[in-house]
Homo-oligomer: A and B are copies of this chain.
Amino acid sequence: MSLRIALLGALAANGPLSGYDLAKNFDGSLSYVWPARHSQIYPELAKLAADGLATVREDGGRGRKVYEIAEDGRAALAKWLTGTEPSRGIRSEASLRMFLLPLLDPAQAVPLLRREAERYAEQVRELEQVRDHHRPPTAPGRNGWYALDLGIRQLAAIRDWAAATADHIAELTSSGPG
């Protein structure tokens, strides 16, 4: 279900798009919460068209097909956003690692946590540049600025946790068993 919604969302936000465009980066931000490969995207777009939620049009000689969201598609998207409870579960290998890092002995855990903190800090800096380059929207509607902002905040949370946890463990071990 969710892939379908993600595609409708991308089409609603970024106008008519081909499967190739969508596969490339899913609008550059959607892939952060719902990644998908072209092998999954192409069949799903075909289904979307078959179900009348999007319209297809051949575009140029290279076999390119451009999909545009239909009225039924917008309705389905709005219904999902307003009328259903999303599953709160997530599955994140990176977070799993964070959860488990404190199990290592402090001499290993602290530098790894600091390295992770720095990695996330760097990613946050990069994305902040992109975000601030685009500037917040001055009119409501279709744009990825909010999505990017959310991504940055989540990464910053992990960064802060990793730094704080490294400090905490380091402090414990310097005073504790010494």
Per-residue contact bits, chain A 2-37, to B (CB 8 Å; 1 contact, 0 not): 100110010011000000000000000110111100
Q: Which of A45-53, A57-65, A127-135, A165-173 contacts B (4 or more CB under 8 A)?
A: A165-173
B-side contacts of A12, CB under 8 Å: 100, 103
Q: How far is the CA of A77 from the CA of B97 in the complex (A)?
A: 10
Copies in the complex: 2
- CB distance A176 to B6 under 8 Å? no
A125 within 8 A of partner (CB)? no
A interface, size bucket: 35 or more
Residues of B within 8 A of A41 (CB): none
The contact of A86 among B97, B143, B165, B172, by CB within 8 Å, is: B97
CB of A70 within 8 Å of the partner chain = no
Distance to closest chain B CB from A42 (angstroms): 19
Q: Is A87 close to B, CB under 8 A?
A: yes
